[in-house]
Structure formats: C-alpha cells, structure tokens
Structure 1
C-alpha cells in the first residue's frame, strides 16, 4: 500500500485541510482497514494490491469477511465496486478491532456491541465454581479492560 501511494497509484484519505496527512491503511495483527477516495483508479489499485499480497505471501484474503463501506457515496457505485472486489457492502457504524466506527459516541446504540461483549463474557463464565474473591478479580481484570479499551477511544454517553 505504501508503494502504491508513493507512486500515486492509490489515493488515501486526507485528514486536515491546512496541513494534510494522507491515510491509506491501518493494520493490527490480521485486521486491515483500507481508506481511499472514490475513484475507479483506487479500485483497480486495490485489486492489484490484494492479488499481489496473495501471490507473494501465499495467504488468501477472506472476501467473505471483507466489506466495502462508503461515506456520502451512492449505493449503486458501492455495489459495483463490491462486485468488482468480490466483497459485500457494509453500513456505518461497523466494527473494527471490536469498536464501532463511524457513529455518534453520545448515542446509546453505538455502545450496544460493547455491552454485548460484556454480557457474553459474563454469561460464559461458570460463576458457581468461583469464590467471591476469584469472581471480583475476574470482573476487575477482564470486564474493566473491555470498558477501558472502549472508553480510550470514545466519550461515554
């Protein structure tokens, strides 16, 4: 991606108008978020990058889990591009690294995935086998880390 941007084959998303910083991709472990402006040149470059990645690494991109999300872009264009890239069209807000991206953090609906993760963790534990002290340690370490992670990005409603 860096080479594609460097050679002006892919145009990332510019942050700040006065002193622009171009962001083309964000990665953590095996999760990748690609950001770019609306253009067929970007779509072609993205397809080339993905094919090159698969060829060079021997790994496969899971297009069933991949999605294309647009901001202020017509649904018809997104559908065409998703068809060309063999992925599905997603909606905002979407989850990236367990956090909802693209919504209003002041609205309760954005926090539902975080609350669902907390509930899933609670119901997955066999509480009857834990002492009261063990339960407190588990609650403080696991549940607190989920909340701290979410609150490090968003202001609480």
Structure 2
C-alpha cells in the first residue's frame, strides 16, 4: 500500500482540516481501504490484493469481501464491486461493533448500549449488593460500556440523561 501511494497509483482519502491522508485500516484479518472514489483506485486495490496473495500464499475470500463508496452513483459502485468480484456494501453496517454510516446524534444508534446497561443490571438486580458493591459495579461495568462508542461519537444529551437515570436507579434499589 505504501508503495502504491508513493508511486501515485493509489490516492488516499484526505481527512480533516489538515488533510491527513488515510489509506488503510487493519485489524486482525480485516482490511479496510480508504481512498478517492475512482476506477484507478479500484484497479490499484485489486493489484495490491493479488500481489498479497502471490507473496503470502494466502487467498483473499472475495465472497466475504465488500465494496462501497460514499457519494457515488449506485451503478458506479456496482461496476466496481463486479470488477473486484465482491459484494456491494450496504450502508449502514457495523465494523468492530461500531455502526458506520449512521447519524450518531439519533438515539436509536445508542439503543444497543442502553440495552446492554439494562441487561447487565437485570442480572445483578436480584442479588443483595451493598451500596459500595453497587458503586463498584457502576464504575467497573456501566461506565466502561459506552466508552468505546464515546471514543468515536459525541453522545447526545438525551442518552447521557438516560444512562445517568439507569445508574441512579441501580444505586437507589436497596
């Protein structure tokens, strides 16, 4: 990827006001390419993936791969997906537990976190736990659950209010 970018075979996505180039995100065996929506970039990705297969001896599972582009006509995305021999990515989708292509200001995006809160609490609700134990649970479980989401999205005030209400109710149930 570095070589493709340095030789201007692949044009990275420029992010933020400082125009920081982003071209690839990798986690475990997942790879996400970011770049300008152009057929030149699509061809470069195919070459990169084929070279990876030849060098590593591994095979790319194109049946599990997807292609998507934001702000491009569906026909263009379809033709690029066909060229890459993979499925068309549908928005919104989840990657590493984070919803991509959603509006994080909408409460429905945060419903899974609130549901997890309530599910965790219902398990502990039947037990007799001291106020110190409940405080420890809130700090250990209920505070850390939304942090992953919060590291990506600004939390709407309504969600903060709901989380605080859940925490207060849990502390007060003695």
Q: Could you say which TM-score interval applies, normalised by the shorter chain?
A: 0.7 to 0.9
1:13 and 1:24 in contact (8 A); partners too: yes
1:12 is matched with which residue? 12
Aligned: 1:3 with 2:12: no
Aligned: 1:95 with 2:89: no
Count of aligned pairs: 152
**Alignment gaps of 5+ in structure 2:** 157-174
Structure exhibiting the larger radius of gyration computed from Cα positions: 2
Map 1:51-66 to 2 at 5 A.
51-66=50-65
2:82 is matched with which residue? 83
- Structure 1 residue 111, shift from structure 2 partner: 2.9
**Alignment gaps of 5+ in structure 1:** none
TM-score scaled by structure 2?
0.70
TM-score scaled by structure 1?
0.77
1:50 is matched with which residue? 49
Change (3 A) 1:40 1:154: same
Deviations 1:81-124 (A, max 9, x none): 111111111222221211012321111232355567x38x86xx
Q: Distance in 1 between matches of 2:84 and 2:60?
A: 11
